[in-house]
Chains A and B, each alone.
Chain A
């Protein structure tokens, strides 16, 4: 922790964690659903930054592209589609608070137990694969799964169209 580089890394890490966790808290405490989704976007951006710190630049970029770009947009659409949403200032807690705390506490304990038991290796020693390596493996060793993915996307699209059209007729 004496090197300036690792000190900078620590500062970056603390900032990213603050953004991620802070926004995540806002997501569950803000009363306006629309604002909650905006906070979710900030939180997801923080997670993307953490991926970058782990030298996983492909995952980070995809995370921004898919989750921040597409999924968050879909969330916003869902909120804007919903009836009586513009005055939706909801109570963010209910009588299930105590069971929820117990459940989350148990989950946290489980995660901590797993994290403390896991052997940790510095990310520099692992050297995660870059886009080049991923692309190479994807198009040689895993070519068939890669092509099957497009079939999966086709099925997903057909399913989405079918569901959306049925919804359309109902309204």
Chain B
């Protein structure tokens, strides 16, 4: 197995932002003042600390994200062998294997929706 492409990708992924940091440190103009040292807030006055607490709502969204992220783990091998499945069991058989899986997951999605997890204000 050849992972050369992956290696090139990884090197680029680190080199590109690294290069940007280095170049802007060398070439970027430096003029410091109280205004320049403020965190960028689109022209607004900062009204809270950036490192403060965030609402618990984000945590719920993150937990939902993990569950649906796990779904991809199973979608990937399925997608790789889908053509073989269709050849062996027909289009319906090939799609049904994932249909049952996704159907149950959609059920959990509907549950989360009905419970108002996705609603922000409550």
| A31 CB, nearest partner CB in chain B, Å | 15
| A62 in complex: contacting residue of B62, B73, B117, CB < 8 Å | B73
The secondary-structure label for the interface of chain A is: helix
Q: Mark A133-152, 1 if CB is under 8 A from B, else 0.
A: 01110110001001101110
Q: Which residues of A contact B49 (CB under 8 A)?
A: 86
Whether the Cβ atoms of A58 and B77 lie closer than 8 Å is yes
| B120 CB, nearest partner CB in chain A, Å | 12
- Interface size class, chain B: 35 or more
Whether the Cβ atoms of A153 and B71 lie closer than 8 Å is yes
- Interface size class, chain A: 35 or more
Whether the Cβ atoms of A83 and B53 lie closer than 8 Å is yes
Report Cα–Cα, A82/B54, bound state, in Å.
Answer: 9
Q: Mark A117-159, 1 if CB is under 8 A from B, else 0.
A: 0000000000000111011101100010011011101101110
12 further contact pairs, Cβ within 8 A, besides A139-B77, A149-B101, A153-B104: A77-B58, A77-B59, A85-B53, A146-B74, A146-B97, A146-B101, A150-B100, A157-B111, A157-B112, A158-B111, A161-B111, A168-B60
